[in-house]
Structures are given as structure tokens and as C-alpha cells.
Amino acid sequence: MFEKSKNLQQLLLTVTSTFVFLFVNFVFSNAQYNNSFKAFLDTNSGLIGDHIHLKLSAEINKDYLVTFPALSDSIGKLQIIAKSKIDTIKNNNFITLNQNITITAFDSGYFQIPQLYFILQRKGDSTTIPSATDALSLTFHSVAIDTTKPIKDIKPPLDVPFDIFDYIWYFVVLILIVVGTYFGIRYYKLHKNKIQEKPKYDPKIPAHIQALLDLEKLEQERLWQNGKVKEYYSALTDIFRLYIERRFAFPALESTTNEILYQIEQFISGEQILKNLKYVLETADLVKFAKEIPAPNINDEILKLTRNIIEATIPIETDLEINKEDR
């Protein structure tokens, strides 16, 4: 009784195994039905370093997805030079995918490309089915040497005949450099800023008195009335900058307008004075550097504003000394 039960279990196990085998075989057969995977070479022989093209092709039903073989930079001892993008061709219910891979070898001999596996997967199904191509072989040959011929010496360098057109660009560049240098120096000499000497003054005379006297003298010279507008503003800003330098003890003569405006804020808090000072200096810069010609009333206004700024910034102790002398 026990032996019959044991035989029955073995029979059931055998039937189950057979069923599973047939089912799996059916699944694989059905999955690969009308799906084909190929790999072939454009030639199976070449010289060392020659480029040989390996073509991978998959023809699948539109209900399937396929993953091409994962190839990095080599297939065994064969080097992969380049890989093309996968080209897709649709034809009714089928899709053909092609990829070209350029390979080479740097040694002679017989090489084999093993089976390459495509991964097939039905859309909406997580089951993957590997499908292999046939193995391929190819041979790389070295360059044949005719040993019956004598060994030849290395050829000397060839003498290339002189052609003026091969060197014409060198002459053109040289001429451009010479011409550019010439005109650059000439332009510099014509437009360079003349180094101005620091205006001379008597240190015994207070800065504001010296500046006011110089402004009065400038007004009497009538420079801008005689067409010398730039000279007028150059002289005016020299007087004004010298006053600022002596009064507030920073190098205003060598400073730009922005630098003066930044420094002067530490000493002057009056908003209107700072506004007028900025207006005077920026107007003078436009005349000197941008060749602007202000209206006649502006010329007079700039001088008056300069005089007002100086008078508004006279040191207090100087005022006291003047008052004492008057008494």
C-alpha cells in the first residue's frame, strides 16, 4: 500500500515536470514567433587596423520591446571604434531595428565574436526572454613582407619647392603689425594726456582765499567768451580740485570725479552742496572728455556754483580769525 502511494507521487511529479517544461517551451516559442535577431559582418577578413562593420538587426512584433546587447568599448580582443544610433523601420505589424558597430584589431590572428543576446519583452509584461545571435569569426592579417627583395634604406626628407604663396600670410601679418604699431604710436602721441604739473600756490595763503582769487582771475580772462571752452573748464577744475585737496587733505588733483565724490562725503554733509559739487565736476568732465559745448549761461552758473561751494566750506576757525582781525 505504501509502495503504491510512493509510485503515484513519482508519477504526479513526472507529469507536473513535463507540463512545466512544455509550458515554458511554449512561452519561449510563442515569444520568439516571427521575431528574429541577427548579427553579421560586412567582411570576415582584413588588415590590422582596418575598420570592419558589425551589423545587429532585430525584427520584432510591434507588441514587443527589445533591448540590444550591451557593448562597451570592446568585444573580447576586438576594439569598438564607433556605434551608430539604433535605426527603426516600421512595417505594418513588425518593427525592424538596426545598429552598426565599427570594430578593429591591432594584432593579427583569428578572432571570434560570441553570441550576442537581445532581451525581448512583451509590452505590459515584466517577463524578459533572452534571444541570442549566431557566433561570428573574422581574421586580421599583418602586412605581407616580400623577403626576396633587399632591405631598403630609409628615404630622406623630401625637399619641398619654395612657393611664395605658402608664406604670403606671414608677410601680410607682419605688415599689419608694423602698420598697426605705427598708427598706434602716432595716435598715442596725438591724444595722450599731457602730464599736468601740480598748480603752484603760496601755502601761507589759506586755500579758500587762493581759490576765490584764482576764480576771479579766471572770470576776467574771458576764456569761454573767446571760444576757449575746454581751456576754461580745465582751469576751473584745477582751481576747484586744488582747493578740495588743500581743504580736505586728500589727493583730489589725481583723483577721478567719482573718487572725489566718494571722499568728500566724509567731510560735507550738506545735501545741496554735494549735489552742486557733483554737477560742477561732471559738467566739466563732459566738456573736457566728451567735447560737449554748454550754453553760455551754464558757463557762468558753473563758476558761481564753484564759488558758492568754496564759500560754504570755509573752515570755522578761519572765520573766527578774520573776525578778530576786523575788530
Give the number of other CB atoms < 10 A from CB of residue 133: 20
- Sorted by sequence, the CB contacts under 8 Å of residue 86 that are 6+ apart come out as 68, 97, 98, 99
Domains of the chain with CATH codes: 33-141 (2.60.40.740), 207-326 (no CATH)
The C-alpha cell that represents 154 in the structure block:
630609409
Write the CB contacts of 261 (distance below 8 Å, at least 6 apart in sequence).
274, 277, 278, 281
Give me the residues of the chain with pLDDT under 70, please: 1-33, 189-198, 317-327
Which one, of 39, 36, 38, 37, lies nearest residue 113 by Cα? 39
Q: pLDDT, tens digit, for every residue of 208-255? A: 999 999 999 999 999 999 999 999 999 999 999 999 999 998 999 889
Question: φ, ψ for residue 129 (rounded to 5)?
Answer: -125, 115
* Per-residue CA distances from 131 to 60, 71, 75, 125 (Å): 12, 16, 18, 17
pTM, whole model, 2 decimals? 0.41
CB burial readout 201-227, b (16+ within 10 A) else e:
eeeeebbbebbbebbeebeeeebbeee
β-strands 45-47, 136-141 pairing: parallel
> How many residues in the chain?
327
C-alpha cell at 61: 512584433
